[in-house]
Amino acid sequence: MKTIHLALYSFSELSANAKDEALNEHRFINVEYNWWDSIYEDAERSGLKITGFEFESSWYCNAHFIHDAIHCAGEIMDHHGDTTPTYQIALSFWAKRSQIVRTWPKDENWEFKHQGDLDEGLDRVEANFLIHLQWAYHSLLIEEYNFQTSDEAITATFEAQEFYFTADGKLATRLEKLIETQI
Residue 6 has a pLDDT of 78
Question: Is 105 found in the same domain as 21?
Answer: no
Q: What is the DSSP letter of 178?
A: H
Q: Is residue 33 part of a domain?
A: no
Is 70 exceeded by the pLDDT of residue 179? no
Q: What is the pLDDT of residues 77-136, one digit of tens each?
A: 999 999 999 999 999 999 999 999 999 888 888 888 888 898 999 999 999 999 999 999
CB of 172 closer than 8 Å to CB of 164 = yes
Q: How far apart are CA 74 and CA 66, in angstroms?
A: 13
Question: What is the domain range of residue 99?
Answer: 38-148
Q: How far apart are CA 54 and CA 56, in angstroms?
A: 6
Provide CB contacts within 8 A for 107, sequence distance 6+.
113
Q: What is the pLDDT of residues 121-177, one digit of tens each?
A: 999 999 999 999 999 999 999 999 999 999 999 999 999 999 999 999 998 876 655
Q: How far apart are CA 126 and CA 134, in angstroms?
A: 12
User: How many other CB atoms are there within 10 angstroms of residue 109's CB atom?
Assistant: 5
Question: Is 176 found in the same domain as 122?
Answer: no
Question: Is 1 found in the same domain as 88?
Answer: no
